[in-house]
Amino acid sequence: MHACRRGFLALVVLAVGIAVTPWLRAQADEPLVLAAASLKNAFDQVALDWNAETGKTVTISYAATSSLARQIEQGAPADIFASADLAWMNHLQEKGLIKLGTRTDLLGNTLVLVAPADAAQSFTLRKGADLGGYIGEGRLAVANVDSVPAGKYAKEALQALDMWPGVANKLALNDNVRSTLALVARGEAVAGIVYATDAAIEPKVVVLGTFPADSHTPIIYPVTQLASSKSPDAEAFLAFLRSPAAAQAYERYGFTLLKD
């Protein structure tokens, strides 16, 4: 097995949290899913439901959409990709890396401003509000605003609401939205911008406000089978991601299920 493939697979974690060796991954021949970090709780549940229904397992690796897309470009041996935005999926499609006819816009989300639960002060999220003043000498945690979907949405929203100039030099940039959430939860940032679904699973943060839907590009999670897919179960698991059983998990974690 090629060294890059071994190294990549050694880092993958099963949805139930068990580390997978390259040998076990190769023998199991289960679908390998690369999914945006914000999907972790929902997709973990879907993977468990898939196992309960079929007796089969799936391997899921979570990271920033931008990082996963670059891994796919570099030949990562994956079967399914779930992106947190349309741009990176479009990028892979333009390069011929997705299996045509399998792409679906699966889920929607909203963007929120959060603060540490034990230190939050009142703030009204509206156009022209002084978010920079609220942050003070501290930092506003966001995912990378140039490449990571959550960060790109955040920058768009801040610019649309005339808040960007006041916070542009106060950003604490993170690799993905879950890292952003963790920074706020630990009190290492005065506030942060994450998805509503992330805020809902972290008791150590409170939501200060929800960004208007028209302040940023719609948050859409497309999912697809990759052109290089080898797993015989990839198509079936992709169908399960769109099933009524999976819809229950999405709704439980606050996602909006998009209709075809």
Ramachandran angles phi, psi of 62, nearest 5°: -110, 140
CATH number of 3-107+221-257: 3.40.190.10
Q: What is the reported pLDDT for 259? A: 76
Q: What is the reported pLDDT for 22? A: 34
pLDDT class for 5, splitting at 50, 70, 90?
very low
Residue ranges covered by each domain of the chain: 3-107+221-257, 111-215
Range 204-210 average pLDDT: 97
Place of tokens 């899921």: 60
Strand 59-63 to 32-36 pairing = parallel
User: Alpha-carbon distance 184 to 151, whole Å?
Assistant: 15
Asked, colleague to colleague, whether 3-107+221-257 and 111-215 share their fold, the answer is yes
Give ∠ CA 210-211-214 in degrees, rounded to 5: 135
Q: In what order do the strands lie in the sheet with 171-174?
A: 171-174, 140-143, 191-195, 111-116, 205-210
Q: What is the reported pLDDT for 29? A: 82
Q: What is the pLDDT of residues 72-98, one digit of tens each?
A: 999 999 999 999 999 999 999 999 999
Distances (CA, A) of 172 to 43, 81, 143: 27, 28, 8
Q: What is the reported pLDDT for 13? A: 37
Range 169-179 average pLDDT: 97
Q: What is the pLDDT of residues 7-62, one digit of tens each?
A: 333 333 333 332 333 323 444 589 999 999 999 999 999 999 999 999 999 999 99
Q: What is the reported pLDDT for 171? A: 98
Q: What is the reported pLDDT for 176? A: 96
Residue 260 reports pLDDT greater than 90? no
Please write down the HEC assignment for all residues of 196-235. HHHHHCCCCEEEEEECCHHHCCCCEEEEEEECCCCCCCHH
Range 245-260 average pLDDT: 92
Q: What is the reported pLDDT for 239? A: 97
Range 150-177 average pLDDT: 97
User: Alpha-carbon distance 122 to 255, whole Å?
Assistant: 26
Place of tokens 């506003």: 140
Q: What is the reported pLDDT for 25? A: 44
User: Is the CATH code 3.40.190.10 the one for domain 111-215?
Assistant: yes
User: Alpha-carbon distance 106 to 108, whole Å?
Assistant: 7
